[in-house]
Amino acid sequence: MGRILGLYRHRALIVSFVKRDLLARYKGSAVGLFWSVIHPLIMLALYTFVFSTILKVRVGISEGTEQFAIYLFCGLLPWNAFAEGLNRSTGVILENSNLIKRAIFPSEILPVYPVIAGIVNELIGFAILLAALLLVGHPLAPVMLLLPAILLLQFVMTTGLAWIIAGATVFIRDLGQMLGVVLTLWVFLTPIFYPPSAVPRQMRALLAVNPMYALVEAYRSLILKGQLPSWEGVTFLASIAAVVFLVGYQVFTRMQPAFADVL
């Protein structure tokens, strides 16, 4: 709890970093932040054209929708936010080395702001997804009001991993390249591009230990199926998120005093 309160005390500084980050991405472009809306719109249109029109891929109604593009988009949104937060955490300490050398600067907030920036883009994507669901006549269930709880678990887990990765990258500069390989393997081991029913029975034990599977399925249950996600899956996700958050903070603070010497 003390770790979360510490982040809350520095909330104004974190918000400032998030705003600066989002504005810097589109600085000098003609439409600015509107690109954060255009990009997911283009991706959804592309998925619809490729998978629904050309390949005519379908998923069973048991998955909440027969539109594979919507099914895929719903799974990719949390994954992209998760991967973006981790990928960008690899360089966040190195990029802000001038701040790290200031004794009073709370360096633990640096891996947090890329995580939040990724979630902001995810929320924009979810708004587009909900509009698409209404367009195709898909009902929006009251259980969707629980989405903030799942989003909080995602933030807690991603932040914990981001702390570990950000701190370790200061000492292991190749970690960014290794992380890219790990995330590539991870995304294909998570039922995002295919339904869980497509996983061979002898490999389904892997799903039980994959927190991103629990996260993606929780979103799909609430948004597409209009029902509560698996209690076992949410409990597992919450447990992993809490452990990773606490361990990540401890690891980061242990490495923190040595940052200035290495940088």
Distances, alpha carbon 106 to alpha carbons 14, 40, 102, in Å: 10, 33, 9
What was the pLDDT predicted at 1? Answer: 56
Domain that holds residue 127: 2-262
What was the pLDDT predicted at 27? Answer: 66
**What pLDDT, in 10s, does the model give residues 39-86?**
777 877 887 787 777 767 777 777 777 788 888 889 999 999 999 999
pLDDT higher than threshold 80 for residue 6: no
Q: How many domains are contained in the chain? A: 1
Mean pLDDT of 144-163: 96
**Full-model pTM:** 0.90
Mean pLDDT of 100-127: 88
Contact 126, 77 (CB under 8 A): yes
Dihedral angle computed from the Cα positions of residues 211, 225, 139 and 60, in that order, rounded to the nearest 10 degrees = 120
Residues 251, 254, 260, 262, CA torsion sign? negative
| Crossing angle of helices 211-220 and 68-89, rounded to 10° | 140
Mean of all residue pLDDT scores within the chain: 87
Which of the pair, 45 or 219, is modelled with greater confidence?
219
Mean pLDDT of 145-170: 96
Separation between Cα atoms, residue 206 and residue 214, nearest integer Å: 11
Mean pLDDT of 141-164: 96
